[in-house]
Structure 1
């Protein structure tokens, strides 16, 4: 799509949405003469309690979120697309890994290389959010290289997705959107739960979730899970354990302090073929046929995946007065990772279909500090109700990494032999990088004229980066930058539950690395979005539709060691999502994503107009879950779902496609309320064999095959 067409599309998008915002209030006003019928929300698996941005979600439908505003705001009033996956939805679908929870979410593509045990891969609106779009409790889990934090789903209460630009609230972040993981917290009522689990491969798991009050002003929660055993690929196994203690102190009605922490340990072996298989032999057949998805090309005797990770932080909130609140969130995080693995990629020659292998090793230490200070003021003047938020946040990311590589022995793609002596790996990188970011931000949510909502944001960030590498002077750089970002949104809420909105926002994202021209500049860009959000009055649901136009500038292009910052990519399309507790027994979810992802600037002119690899530009999902509440079937639950991903490209020139795929999921369970429950979930029910994505013609990955998870939960 050329620039003229892009501008016309953007003008049409904003103009159409503005007409909706202007015209629909007239229609709604005409309807308002009849009093709206309001039906109490359906309560699912629990008594009614007012929802907060960190509380459990009732059924599948969340009412509030702070991810898109940093304030306690109804989702329909946020002028961007927001999705929330609650604990019940994760449990019903048998989520065994964080990125699995996002499979049914509009605009989100996960697991492009299959099920990766040490990374949660996430793309939003076509852009990789795996490292710079990951947040925990509103503070960024910044990652770079192989230094990324691992989130464990069992410790989470909800997962929230904010699609599109988020720099106005969080500083540098992925332009396509962000994932905010919300931790489990101490509960009002005693909670004592034990979980036992087993997968189809025999991997065993044990989880505990305990919460209780220590006194009238103090409560605690201890959540943790351990798993040990085999994954689907041969010789891909290991131990993963995580504990998350938390503590709540509320000395009075005006003050609360929540201490949040987690400790994670991993000791396992990799799937050496994950994401590094050739196109010919996976997507299309080679002369020998196709590689078995369960084949592992690493060296089990040398392979190593060891991670030690801890996070310790707090959330402080104090009501200075009835309309003035101070909040401070902070976290210190650290990881120590040592990995060794062998992976394939290319054939020996066009006539020799044995696979070359490479050996890789890294030792990475990361220390990350986040601090966010907020002051929220509510007041009214001249018919306008203001919720004003001001804040200052600080981020520090310190990574020390050493990386080694070496050639490996050649192997048969159908029957790789292990145990041969390997060439010693040589260090090619020994780098320390320190990133500091300080941001000042302000937001005003203005409500007026019985339904209008204007959201205005502004932010300035000061960023410094310093890198040092004694092995290669090309990896040494120092840079200081200042960046502005902003957002303006307009919405109108009708009595019947419909909220049309428009918004425009700018963003930036720091880019670590350098070229012959010096340190890379931050990525920048802008997004325009228009949409509709609908909260029906007759049942508990949330329906959203969004049109977006997102441009990402200063994209790094080129191969390792020869990168240049000349690229620009445009993403524009539509997202539809529906979630509903149709009745107390029946939950429903659906999503549809269709967008055009296009390279609009590139040093290689032949790539302009092409679509980047990996990401499918069409996706759809549908899920249903039904629980019998009475009769002889009382307590029995059944669910099912369908997921579709469209075709994607395997090469930059867009000559080789990865075909589309449709898979089905199913689950059944039986629950005796407040006592025990048994659940069996099966994903990819028909065991469809397909390639999830290709980064290049030598870097393809099979999707996860049929996977089953049986869990037993006991309450006491």
Structure 2
């Protein structure tokens, strides 16, 4: 039975009504920290933050003709030892941890489309990912996280049509500072972090060093990790017009895997025959075989020169590399009685990517029009060398696991080198006429892609193609702080998938219509935004239903939806909320999902509400208490739309105390330890969401 869609505008009204009731319900999570914020507002408040994700220029969110959310550093500090996916849990339009608890990959969808591979950027430069060649970003190294929703190709080239996440790394300050932080959770996973910097005596050189070491247990039995990361940066300012920042980071991760994903629908979302339910903390691997060794490095620079006050030029460049060796026992996704079938998998992956972006920015006037012009050229080289193999392994009784299965030699089915080169020219003109803002973008990209298949040389392939993308947006800033806007944007995303004959598929393309309102009130610190949108994704590729190891053209997918986000600092209260409604449908299909059905892993409704109260004086001065609720709606568990993943309501709480230059906090997520499935890619691949996690942390500024 299919869920019939209701008009998007009707649901937008329902969402608006629900958010208006938020302060009455007072059920929001303390950590609803990924919310739209604005460039104006009270100093020190959330609404003063600016973003560069939507225009490559640092501007207020109200001036971007698309929806943008920002997680500030103050908000990130409320997520001690969290992953990048966890800090985005409560962002409107974003669903995270789609494969359950995972220690080595940050999974997330934006507006109904998978985005962790082609939608990840850092400091405005791509961290393109494919296969197992993933990059891990620790939020402790970040200044903020920005989410641009909808097509971003006009600025960044190939990217997910649903949107992108841009991580902004910490940089030197114009002052001496030092912050230390430590904590531990109920699974015995502890961390310690240090972040400090200084300015040399003449003031021309500043530096910053940030490091973190963490490790311990996880929710899954036997799982554990040890990881360390260090990041250094230095800024040289030889004159008031010129500034050069160089930076680098190194990360090393070793772990025994968590195993809450890739499980069968029957036995997780619903009971198996006989009432069998797979334990959420089941470890279905083999410790003697389990291996995960990651080394990741990034090196880059940011150069900016102010030419004459109206014109400036900048160049950002970075090399990022990953060397990853992994051996793991995967669930086969079939439960027979209480026995779970399994297979061994191993891979060796090396990734290297070079990105460079050169920009010319100018501000000038033509008659009554004020222009903010951006001209740019960027280049990306991506290369991945990967080898993958598998072997059948004896099953495991989920109710009485006995380990020690023999691991036969792996059968290697993939051994190839993939390279992609992308060069793009782009232009953006943001034109202001009184209170009217017109944003015009155009870009042309040329992409060269090649696959060197070392196992079957005849199936090696290459493709060269060009793509245009554009955006036009119109907004009007009223004096009362209300800014309505409308925009149309297109995108493309090069494909690295091949058909059965070894031919590369054409690049995906996409388009989005969006309309919304952004409200920056003058009488309190905060921002409220509402948007409706319609996205088409074309040339989609997915597994062939007759052979899952072969890709097939899926065709076209449509997502319509509405989002509502709000944040307000009123007196001693901080109120936060986020609501998302999505209608997803496959319009044309030649793959596993029939036309007319909805894609898997896309919840129809997600919501979060939160409230914090801070005692400003008296005996409890400096104490903040918070409570919250997260709601994850139903989603389809199979392409045929015969089974649904049940919805879940999760409650969080926190207690924080700040005094002078130190602070202590207790954060509890999923306080009632609700067992739920976050999503299913198929009836043989579902993932448990995280159970109760309590973290005690302590920090001090020196």
The TM-score normalised by the length of structure 1 is: 0.90
Shift of residue 656, structure 1, vs aligned partner: 0.6
Shift of residue 365, structure 1, vs aligned partner: 0.2
| Alignment partner of 1:534 is 2:522 | no
| Alignment partner of 1:417 is 2:397 | no
Distance 2:591 2:239 in 1: 63
Number of the residue aligned with 1:266: 253
Number of the residue aligned with 1:303: 290
Number of the residue aligned with 2:104: 118
Would the aligned equivalents of 1:59 and 1:89 in 2 still touch at CA under 8 Å? no
Shift of residue 200, structure 1, vs aligned partner: 0.5
Number of the residue aligned with 1:651: 638
Number of the residue aligned with 1:243: 230
Would the aligned equivalents of 1:165 and 1:177 in 2 still touch at CA under 8 Å? yes
Number of the residue aligned with 1:145: 131
Would the aligned equivalents of 1:174 and 1:509 in 2 still touch at CA under 8 Å? yes
Aligned counterpart for 2:589 among listed residues 585, 599, 602: 602
Shift of residue 452, structure 1, vs aligned partner: 0.2
Shift of residue 511, structure 1, vs aligned partner: 1.1
Distance 1:93 1:221 in 2: 22
Number of the residue aligned with 2:556: 568
Number of the residue aligned with 2:420: 435
Would the aligned equivalents of 2:506 and 2:539 in 1 still touch at CA under 8 Å? yes
Would the aligned equivalents of 1:228 and 1:237 in 2 still touch at CA under 8 Å? yes
Deviations 1:236-257 (A, max 9, x none): 1010111111111112211111
Shift of residue 127, structure 1, vs aligned partner: 0.4
Aligned counterpart for 1:63 among listed residues 40, 49, 65: 49
| Alignment partner of 1:616 is 2:603 | yes
Number of the residue aligned with 1:326: 313
Number of the residue aligned with 1:336: 323
Secondary structure of the corresponding residue to residue 695 of structure 1: strand
Q: How does 1:249-648 map to 2 (within 5 A)?
A: 249-271=236-258, 273-286=259-272, 287-347=274-334, 352-448=337-433, 450-473=434-457, 475-516=459-500, 518-559=503-544, 560-583=548-571, 585-603=572-590, 607-648=594-635
Would the aligned equivalents of 2:97 and 2:689 in 1 still touch at CA under 8 Å? yes
Shift of residue 571, structure 1, vs aligned partner: 0.5
Distance 2:70 2:568 in 1: 12
Shift of residue 475, structure 1, vs aligned partner: 4.7
Would the aligned equivalents of 2:387 and 2:415 in 1 still touch at CA under 8 Å? yes
Deviations 1:602-621 (A, max 9, x none): 02697111111112121000
Shift of residue 626, structure 1, vs aligned partner: 2.3
Distance 1:108 1:638 in 2: 26
Secondary structure of the corresponding residue to residue 348 of structure 2: strand
Structure 1 residues 476, 606: closer, same or farther in 2, change over 3 A? Answer: closer
Secondary structure of the corresponding residue to residue 61 of structure 1: helix
Range that drifts further, 165-174 or 597-606? 597-606
Shift of residue 629, structure 1, vs aligned partner: 2.2
Stretches of structure 2 lacking an aligned partner (at least 5 in a row): 13-37
Structure 1 residues 604, 117: closer, same or farther in 2, change over 3 A? Answer: closer
Where in structure 1 do 4 or more consecutive aligned residues deviate above 4 Å? none
Secondary structure of the corresponding residue to residue 169 of structure 1: helix
Range that drifts further, 519-528 or 509-518? 509-518
Distance 1:348 1:106 in 2: 35
Would the aligned equivalents of 2:497 and 2:551 in 1 still touch at CA under 8 Å? no
Distance 1:246 1:582 in 2: 37
Aligned counterpart for 2:180 among listed residues 190, 194, 198: 194
Structure 1 residues 474, 129: closer, same or farther in 2, change over 3 A? Answer: farther
Distance 2:484 2:465 in 1: 37
Distance 2:231 2:86 in 1: 21
Secondary structure of the corresponding residue to residue 627 of structure 2: strand
Distance 1:324 1:72 in 2: 15
Distance 1:629 1:670 in 2: 11
| Alignment partner of 1:128 is 2:110 | no
Shift of residue 558, structure 1, vs aligned partner: 2.8
Distance 2:158 2:281 in 1: 38
| Alignment partner of 1:681 is 2:702 | no
Shift of residue 188, structure 1, vs aligned partner: 2.3
Secondary structure of the corresponding residue to residue 296 of structure 1: coil
Distance 2:101 2:592 in 1: 35
Secondary structure of the corresponding residue to residue 297 of structure 1: coil
Would the aligned equivalents of 2:120 and 2:164 in 1 still touch at CA under 8 Å? yes
Secondary structure of the corresponding residue to residue 105 of structure 1: coil
Would the aligned equivalents of 1:52 and 1:72 in 2 still touch at CA under 8 Å? no
Aligned-residue Cα RMSD (Å) equals: 2.2
Shift of residue 57, structure 1, vs aligned partner: 9.5
The TM-score normalised by the length of structure 2 is: 0.92
Number of the residue aligned with 2:33: none
Number of the residue aligned with 1:218: 205
Q: How many residue pairs get matched?
A: 668
